[in-house]
Homo-oligomer: A and B are copies of this chain.
Amino acid sequence: MHTINLNTSSRIEFLNITAEIRRIIIESGLKEGIAIAYVPHTTAGITINEAADPDVVSDINRKLSQLVPVEATYQHSEGNSDAHIKASLMGSSTQIIVIQGKPILGQWQGIFFCEFDGPRRRKVFVKTISD
């Protein structure tokens, strides 16, 4: 298993981690299979979406904050229930198909770590599985 260490710099932020995941997959030597990227946190998630125009992930982030505002009636006393809810909406892991040693992403796709309660030190675990 490989670990990506991240330092986020805002409360909400999408970090493009495609290049690091690509490097891990290539260096792993996996030829055919899948890679799992897993976020071991409960106030952050992971998603695959457009990497070409950074406005796309800004729009995702802003819409999530409209749907799940930080200020609302929540029971959890730490003041970050919005972050937990967004984490479940995006999901804690994603999978990438690997063919001939390379991740098969669509032309416009990138893999984004979704920070919902930063800034914090964060990790993403990557595990390769052969077919």
Could you say how many copies of this chain the assembly holds? 3
Is the beta-carbon distance between B75 and A38 smaller than 8 angstroms?
Answer: no
Contact with B along A77-102 (1 / 0, CB 8 A): 11001001101111111111101000
A47 CA to B36 CA in the complex, in Å?
A: 16
A16-58 with Cβ < 8 A to chain B: 33-34, 36, 38-42, 47-50, 53, 55-56, 58
Q: Which residues of B contact A128 (CB under 8 A)?
A: 131
Distance in Å from the Cβ of A87 to the closest Cβ of chain B? 6
Is the beta-carbon distance between A125 and B109 smaller than 8 angstroms?
Answer: no
A129 interfacial contact with B, CB 8 Å: yes
Q: Which residues of B contact A38 (CB under 8 A)?
A: 95-97, 104
Which residue from B36, B40, B53, B55 sits with its C-beta under 8 Å from A105?
Answer: B40
Minimal Cβ-Cβ distance residue in B for A75: B55
Q: Which residues of B contact A94 (CB under 8 A)?
A: 91-93
What are 5 contact pairs spanning A and B, CB under 8 A? Answer: A34-B36, A48-B88, A55-B75, A58-B75, A92-B109
Pairs A-B, 8 closest by C-beta atoms: A40-B106, A55-B75, A55-B76, A42-B50, A59-B81, A48-B92, A47-B88, A97-B127
